[in-house]
Homo-oligomer: A and B are copies of this chain.
Amino acid sequence: MSGWIAVAGLGPGAPELITPDVAATLEKATDIIGYGPYVARIAQRDGLNLHASDNRVELDRACHALELAASGARVVIVSSGDPGVFAMASALFEAAECWPAPLPEIHVLPGITAMLAAAARAGAPLGHDFCAINLSDNLKPFALIERRLRHAARGDFAMAFYNPRSATRPHQFARVLQILREECNDDRPVIFARAVSTPEESLKTVALPQATPEMADMRTVVLVGNSMTRQVGRWIYTPRRAEAG
């Protein structure tokens, strides 16, 4: 029997946002690998081995998946959201570069990524050209984050920020907001969407000058409109039409 690896996106939290493709693949798995809180979302059943691991051990997790698949296991690596957006798919391919044997069959199964779940709740703030930026400086220097923020603002992109703030770098998101204030108009809406589609969901929209670092934590995705983003009723949206600026 030959093993395989699927890297699957569980979406932002609600079971109704897991694709049937991912659900069917989970049914066929012998082993589930992932960060503890994501593995905890998988129902236990006979013959299924759950391997929960800590944060920041993505490469160990990927190597473990390659070892299990080589011994014939059917392995699903679970990510929250979409596995290709700041999640486990890149880590698996990084590990694959050092893998001494032929690669097993690999499938990447897309999921609903946090920024699109958040945008849907708010209206359509990412309805025109936009950027997705991971604000964690765990694997990249803050200078690169700043460079990307300024290009995103000067290109008048809407923006989505993943991992805006953590306990180990409390001051950095304040600096991000400062850079945005230097580059963007004052009425720019900033949406703090926390734990969308879970019982802890919250959504808060403020104008850029009122945004504070405390409004975000590691379960928050932050969306910033472009220069044309508007409000209608309780909805925030970015029009499809744009000027040269």
Contact = CB atoms under 8 A, between A and B. Distances in A.
Nearest to A143: B244
A94 interface: yes
A76 interface: no
14 contacts: A16-B24, A17-B19, A18-B20, A83-B120, A86-B240, A94-B240, A96-B232, A110-B120, A131-B155, A140-B241, A148-B155, A148-B156, A151-B151, A151-B155
A101 to B, nearest CB: 12
A3 interface: no
Contacts of A87: 127
A91 B133 CA distance: 26
A134 to B, nearest CB: 6
Given A84-B126, A157-B131, A235-B106, A140 B21 contact: no
Nearest to A121: B108
Contacts of A151: 151-152, 154-155, 157
Contacts of A11: 19
The number of chain A residues touching the other chain, given as a range, is: 35 or more
Given A86-B128, A94-B240, A144-B243, 10 more contacts: A89-B120, A90-B127, A93-B123, A103-B233, A110-B120, A112-B112, A113-B116, A140-B244, A141-B242, A151-B155
A24 B18 CA distance: 13
A69 B39 CA distance: 41
A242 B144 contact: yes
Contacts of A147: 155-156, 244-245
B134 A132 contact: no
Nearest to A81: B116
- Which 4 residue pairs are nearest across A and B when measured between Cβ atoms? A90-B127, A151-B155, A89-B124, A93-B237
Max count, chain B CB within 10 A of own CB: residue among A21, A129, A238, A245: A129
A117 interface: yes
A94 B126 CA distance: 14
Contact of A97 (B85, B127, B232): B232
B140 A243 contact: yes
Contacts of A156: 144, 147-148
